[in-house]
Amino acid sequence: MKHSRFHGTGKVFNFTFSQMMKAKGFRFTLILMLLTSMLYYPISQTIKRNGEGGGVSEVKHTSIDTLYVIDESGLNFMDWFYFDKAGLEQIEIPKMVSSDKTYDELTEELKETDKAIALLHVHHVADEGTFYYTLVQGTKTPVEKSDLTLLKNAIQNTVYTQLMEHVGITEEQMAILNMDIETDTNYVDIESIGKPVDEDEDEKGINQQQYMMILIVIMLTTMLVSMSGEYISSSIVQEKSSKVVEYLLTSIRPIALLFGKIAAVFLITLFQIVSMIVCFAASVVIYHVVADGMAVSDAFGKITSFIPKDVDITITPIGVVVLVCFLLAGMLFFSLICGVIAASVKSVEEMQERMKSFTLLLFIGMFGAMTITIMNIGGSDTGKLETIAALFPVTSPFLVPGYLFSNRISLGLALIGLAILIVFVYFLLAFAARCYEYLIYYNGQKLKLRDYFSIFKNEKGGEKNA
Amino acid sequence: MSLVVTNLSKKYGEKTVVDHISFSLEHPGVYAFLGTNGAGKSTSLRMMLGMLAKDSGEVLWKGKPLDTMETNVGYLAEERGLYPKFTLMDQLLYFASLKNVSKEDAKVRIEYWVERLELTEYFHPPVVGKKKPKPMKADQLSKGNQQKVQLLAALISDPELLILDEPLSGLDPVNMDLFKQVIHEQVDAGKYIIMSSHQMEVVEEFCEDITILHHGKAVVQGNLNEIKKSYGRVNMFVKTEEPIDDLIEASGLRVVNKTPNGIQLKVSGQEQADRFLDQLVSGHKTIVRFELREPSLHEIFVEKAGENVEDEAQ
């Protein structure tokens, strides 16, 4: 029975996958990464809350003994002794005194006093449509500025809560009322549905939220590519330096050997990244359930807050397929480069030296995509640069997924970029496999650029006996 | 004929490392590939296995081009290799799966060879105390035991054709005997074996047919007994109680070697040996040893390789 060139790929995949999962180093790294993902959110939130005025149950003491209130707002429903009722127990409320004295009289008094006294003056400026809540203190008073800030936040919250109670609306309704209303113009032909009309200069750039989204995708792609590249190269060099490859090549063709490894490494890298994301999401839910006493369903809602609200995620199912294909092809492209590099070296030490060229390509790809994105946020017209980067196989795996996800690039251009990337991957695959066939000959020798050309043209070996 | 190799050649740049080598294996047994270091033995074997491209030539197995993916071939490489950090059982099961041996069959075969090659304590470490012992990894074995595991890997698919590149190098006498027994068993089981070696005594013990390579060329090739016969009985060993240097000089014989066990002399044939024996008897020399025999493989090898070295020096 004639076997295909890929015969044995599954066996290589199974073995590589199981051995990598069994490796102590891998397990240790995975646990470390998962722990980091799990602990990052709770720790950062705790630090943040402490910095903002302590934990939920901690009462912040202020240096204010007495707070005079002069209310000239005309808001009769406002209860200035409401602080406790509004659940603002995070700060120790000073003694509230509703004063009959005028504003001027009280300010004169404050000028002279060295007691911990402050004045809250509430008034309404009809022309501006604004209520002013002004805190006043004397220069000799021991009241600290930070205490006034705390008090100011507390007043703002209580006013907001009492206003909503008074008009009888919920927080959700308030959020709807506060929503921005924007108008836009869309093309009406089928190909351009959803694409905004380029009415002004601002629409050429990207907003902060899109920038963050694209940056996250670039970072994830970089992680995927660098981790898989490192695994592939170390796996190949290990087989080469331990001479196992000579035995393997009697049972399996080089291309199947490479393909099996790459598939296993891709799955493992993906598993690591997905595990990290899941752990992070779980930590967010657990944190809010435990620390804030939220219902689990509400805590799940907190996860969506990490997706920027202003990002235009209108990606179609085809777009999703293209995006995934791009990530796969990009990883394959860089993994094969690592495969070629690893096939041409003898030892791990030599590989570290040779991997500089991979690192350089990785940097070109990543920083190329990032530079264009940064230029975009500055409002520059990067249309041509975007097109070049989307078609160039070194930059396209970093740029296209993020841009496609945030609807910054057309599906047609992404498909052309993908086609080019696949063609490169195909040739690289053939080249990497041929390198493998020659690795015994080159064992222990550094390959020069012309050697690679010779291998590619098959000048030195003649026809393979198969 | 089962294996036919015709005009196998390989050049690295301008240097010819294998120069039109041809041979065949007509029936099961061991075919020896001999040669000095760098003679082209391993390159020839790699080309036969298809893992190294050849410049010209043909390798046929049962009338079809040999493809190791299609034919059950076992290979013990010169540069030994195992995954150092993977357990022995895991990697052997992997090697077996690549050779299309089912997991169940592979386990049975591994257990058989583990016992046969005296590797049980490494595959099934004894329990010490209550703790279950961890499976051993390749880098925990000695070089000799790693070599046994690799022989196991070569035999795991029960191959029809076995290619052993320097299988006995670096082994202690006990393990060398074990390897020899295994090779004998394989021959008895009707396997075709190609073996390269530097150990001439071992080759003489196993092989009927040989090729001696020197700088990529086959300098001697054919049936070992016939090769020896073709040289004739030209090696004479003499040991006497009295000195015989003057007699040797008078007879015009060439001294090949002089040791406490006697003197090795080169004669042109039986007649010259008989004449020298007459001289010893008539000279009243006390003869302790007088032997006339064909050259050993070692002598043929040294002579052929030596001649070529001398030729090149000239």
- Please report, for chain A, the start and end positions of each structural domain, with discontinuous segments joined by +: 66-175, 203-457
Residue B80 with chain A: CB contacts under 8 Å: 243
Is A460 an interface residue toward B (CB < 8 Å)? yes
Q: Look at residue A296 in the predicted model and tell me its pLDDT.
A: 82
Give the mean model confidence (pLDDT) for residues A70-97. Answer: 65
**pLDDT (tens digit, 9 = 90+) per residue, B171-202?**
899 999 999 999 999 999 999 999 998 888 88
Is A138 an interface residue toward B (CB < 8 Å)? no
pLDDT for A462 beyond 70: no
CB spacing of B50 vs A239 below 8 angstroms: no
Q: Look at residue B95 in the predicted model and tell me its pLDDT.
A: 95
Tell the CATH topology of A66-175.
D-Maltodextrin-Binding Protein; domain 2 (3.40.190)
CB spacing of B50 vs A248 below 8 angstroms: no
CB pairs under 8 A between A and B: 101
Distance from CA of A438 to the nearest CA of B (A): 7
CB spacing of A251 vs B98 below 8 angstroms: yes
Which one has a higher pLDDT value, A353 or A128?
A353
Is A60 an interface residue toward B (CB < 8 Å)? no
- In chain A, the residue whose alpha carbon lies closest to the alpha carbon of B65 is A466
CB spacing of B82 vs A19 below 8 angstroms: no
DSSP A345: -
Q: Is A6 helix (H, G, I), strand (E, B) or coil?
A: coil
- In chain A, the residue whose alpha carbon lies closest to the alpha carbon of B79 is A243
By Cβ distance, the residue of B13, B51, B83 closest to A440 is B51
CB spacing of B153 vs A247 below 8 angstroms: yes
By Cβ distance, the residue of B59, B98, B150 closest to A252 is B98
Residue B55 with chain A: CB contacts under 8 Å: 461-462
Distance from CA of B23 to the nearest CA of A (A): 17
Q: How far apart are CA B59 and CA B1, in angstroms?
A: 12
The edge-to-edge listing of strands for the beta sheet with B262-266 is B254-259, B262-266, B235-240, B287-293
CB spacing of B94 vs A252 below 8 angstroms: no
**pLDDT (tens digit, 9 = 90+) per residue, A216-264?**
889 888 988 888 888 888 888 888 888 888 889 888 888 788 889 888 9
| Residue A199 CA to its chain's centroid (Å) | 30
- In chain B, the residue whose alpha carbon lies closest to the alpha carbon of A466 is B67
pLDDT band at A58 (very low <50, low <70, confident <90, very high): low
Is A450 an interface residue toward B (CB < 8 Å)? no
The whole-chain average pLDDT of chain A stands at 77
Q: Look at residue B150 in the predicted model and tell me its pLDDT.
A: 94
User: Residue A309 contacts by C-beta under 8 Å, 6 or more apart in sequence?
Assistant: A209
- B143-162 burial code (b ≥16 CB/10 A, e <16): eebbbbbbbbbbbbbebbbb
User: Residue A24 contacts by C-beta under 8 Å, 6 or more apart in sequence?
Assistant: none
Do residues A334 and A229 make contact, with C-beta atoms less than 8 angstroms apart?
yes
Q: What ipTM, to 2 d.p.?
A: 0.83
- In chain A, the residue whose alpha carbon lies closest to the alpha carbon of B92 is A15
Is A249 an interface residue toward B (CB < 8 Å)? yes
pLDDT band at A448 (very low <50, low <70, confident <90, very high): low
Residue A240 with chain B: CB contacts under 8 Å: none
Q: Look at residue A14 in the predicted model and tell me its pLDDT.
A: 94
Percent of chain A residues past pLDDT 90, beyond the cut: 11
Q: How far apart are CA A382 and CA A365, in angstroms?
A: 16
Distance from CA of B16 to the nearest CA of A (A): 12
pLDDT for A461 beyond 50: no
Distance from CA of B9 to the nearest CA of A (A): 10
Q: How far apart are CA A404 and CA A401, in angstroms?
A: 5
Number of Cβ within a 10 Å radius of residue A457: 9
Do residues B178 and B146 make contact, with C-beta atoms less than 8 angstroms apart?
no
Q: Cα separations (Å) of A83 from A67, A154, A161, B19, B232?
A: 13, 8, 10, 99, 120
Binding-face residues of A in 6-45 toward B, CB within 8 A: 7-8, 11-12, 14-15, 18-19, 23
Residue B46 with chain A: CB contacts under 8 Å: 246, 440
Q: In whole angstroms, how large is the CA radius of gyration of chain B?
A: 24
Q: Would you state the structure tokens that stand for residue B240, as one six-digit string?
A: 């006497």
Query: Mutation test of the interface with chain B: which of A257, A438, A465, choosing the one with the most B Cβ atoms within 10 A?
Result: A465
Q: What is the DSSP string of A45-108?
A: HHHHHHHTT--SSPPBP-S--EEEEEEES--TT--TT-TTTTT-TTB-PPEEEE--S-HHHHHH
CB spacing of B53 vs A1 below 8 angstroms: no
* A215 closest CA partner among A372, A325, A386, A421: A372
Q: Which helix (DSSP H) or strand (DSSP E) does residue B265 occupy?
A: strand B262-266
- In chain A, the residue whose alpha carbon lies closest to the alpha carbon of B73 is A250
By Cβ distance, the residue of A12, A243, A462 closest to B80 is A243
* A326 closest CA partner among A376, A367, A365: A365
Q: Would you state the structure tokens that stand for residue A53, as one six-digit string?
A: 């005025």
Distance from CA of B79 to the nearest CA of A (A): 6
- What are the strands, taking DSSP E only, across A138-225? none
Residue B12 with chain A: CB contacts under 8 Å: 441, 460
Q: Look at residue A315 in the predicted model and tell me its pLDDT.
A: 65
Q: Is B24 helix (H, G, I), strand (E, B) or coil?
A: strand
Give the mean model confidence (pLDDT) for residues A78-88. Answer: 58
CB spacing of A8 vs B98 below 8 angstroms: yes
pTM, whole model, 2 decimals?
0.71
Q: Is A140 helix (H, G, I), strand (E, B) or coil?
A: coil
By Cβ distance, the residue of A2, A239, A440 closest to B46 is A440
pLDDT for A398 beyond 50: yes
Residue A238 with chain B: CB contacts under 8 Å: 83
pLDDT band at A80 (very low <50, low <70, confident <90, very high): low
Q: How far apart are CA B269 and CA B232, in angstroms?
A: 7
Residue A250 with chain B: CB contacts under 8 Å: 49, 51, 68, 73, 75
CB spacing of B94 vs A15 below 8 angstroms: yes
Q: Look at residue B125 in the predicted model and tell me its pLDDT.
A: 86
Q: Of the ranges A84-93, A353-362, B146-155, which one carries the lowest mean pLDDT score?
A: A84-93
DSSP B294: P
| pLDDT tens by residue, chain B, 314 residues | 689 999 999 988 788 889 999 999 988 999 999 988 888 898 899 889 988 778 899 999 999 999 888 899 999 988 778 998 899 999 999 999 999 999 999 999 999 999 999 999 999 888 877 788 888 999 999 989 999 999 999 999 999 999 999 998 888 999 999 999 999 999 999 999 999 988 888 888 888 899 999 888 998 899 988 888 888 888 899 999 999 998 998 888 889 888 888 899 988 888 899 999 999 999 999 999 999 888 888 888 887 776 554 444 44
Do residues A466 and B46 make contact, with C-beta atoms less than 8 angstroms apart?
no
Q: How far apart are CA A217 and CA A400, in angstroms?
A: 10
- In chain A, the residue whose alpha carbon lies closest to the alpha carbon of B57 is A465
CB spacing of A248 vs B98 below 8 angstroms: yes
The whole-chain average pLDDT of chain B stands at 88
Which domains are delineated in chain B?
A: 3-71+160-225 (3.40.50.300), 233-293 (3.30.70.1150)
CB spacing of A250 vs B97 below 8 angstroms: no
- In chain A, the residue whose alpha carbon lies closest to the alpha carbon of B154 is A247
Q: In whole angstroms, how large is the CA radius of gyration of chain A?
A: 32
Which one has a higher pLDDT value, B263 or A48?
B263
CB spacing of A462 vs B55 below 8 angstroms: yes
Number of Cβ within a 10 Å radius of residue A434: 22
Distance from CA of A462 to the nearest CA of B (A): 5
